[in-house]
Structure 1
Amino acid sequence: MGTEDSRLRPDRRAPAQEPRLRADALHNRNRILGVAADLLAERGLDVPMAAVARHAGVGVATLYRRFPTRRALIQEVFADQFAACVAAVDEALTCLDPWDAFRGAVEQVCAVQAGNPGFNSAFVAAYFEELGISGELDRVTCGLNELARRAKDAGRLRADFATSDFTLLIMANSGISAQAPEAAPTASRRLVAYLLDSFRADRAAPADPLPPPAPLDLYDILRSR
């Protein structure tokens, strides 16, 4: 009977190993993502995968096991930012005022773009289909186009606004986002406010006040380049 009980009794050693392995895997994954975020912000999207593995203290095989492609790594590093852009557009689509909806979505998407130099590069590359990341950006662009249509129909957005103007906005904001991190968000808000004011059709209404100017110096920017 004692032998049978020992066979039926759960082996308490096996479960003790499984959480440890899961914790190690989670630690490696989080470390890879943290290091990759820093390197992508510092060096751009072309940072070698081997450099990410080396700085994260893991083997290249471990890196590729977690993230089989550079695209998969970049998409996971900036998953929260891509999701924030989608959420901003989805929320705007529920807004009853067409102009407030359009303006809010543009402001939020551009703010996320300007908030991190690494994500700015990833967002622009994805926007121009250089990364092969389509799902989130498709939702963002389709949503922005729908918001533009609603604002036009309501007479709030100028009739000659073209969907390609979103590309101009993204390109302009990208240039600002490449500047010093402490200045980029402020500069981006001011640029977007200027552009939104130029997009308005109801010019009889008073202009919204601009955000404060950013501490930008032309000579500092030229020297940094």
Structure 2
Amino acid sequence: MTYEEAQQWLDALRQYEYRADLTAFVRRDQFGGDWFAQNLVPGNREQTMAFEDRFRRNAPDHSEAWFEVVFWKLFSMPPRRNQLTSSIIETSHRGTPQDFWNACTAFTREGSLGTFAVLQQFFVAKNALPVVATFVAFASPERFPMIDVQVVRAVRSYCLAHPEAAHNGLFARQHDRPLTTRDWDFYCAWIKWCRSSALILEDRTGTHWRARDVEMAAFQNERSHMPALPLIA
């Protein structure tokens, strides 16, 4: 990978935006003035990292920190974001924030399906991956990327443009149905690839890269309908 090619990845990361107005949650008044009070516009990398930091500070002691992340994640689904967030909030009554945090950190240590399932049981009923994987990525962005349908499409575009990516363990998912633990191998391959890619991009750009940053750059590039980013090798 040349310096110029690595710069294309860095440019995509610098252009990252994910806007989310947490004040739009219909139940925000139930949680006090400190919660659901942020309007993340333009939602660039710096704002998003600050939101990740807020989650890590508050997650062990406040369920509301987890609920904010749920609404943030679902914000791009206007017709359903309020209903789905409310449903997850009701499901989470099975545990305390310390229970959530202990389960999350157990997974970040072990990376097993079993530990992921323990965290998953507090929030979702049908083995869905994206929201729970978002908690993991917020808790440990150095080592874990998020995953969702936009990422699936980005990986598919990348693998189509660079078939040799398979040599590094990355493979395309050929459909866009909702991600669940049936896609565990895909999720694990994506985690491993983002980690190794972050090391290469850091070396080529002289800028620190997290696994989450690789995902953010890929997400931004795909959402902007740009050609696949250069091969990382």
TM range (shorter): under 0.3
Kindly name which structure, 1 or 2, has the bigger radius of gyration based on alpha carbons: 1
The structure showing larger relative contact order (alpha-carbon pairs under 8 Å, at least 6 residues apart) is: 2
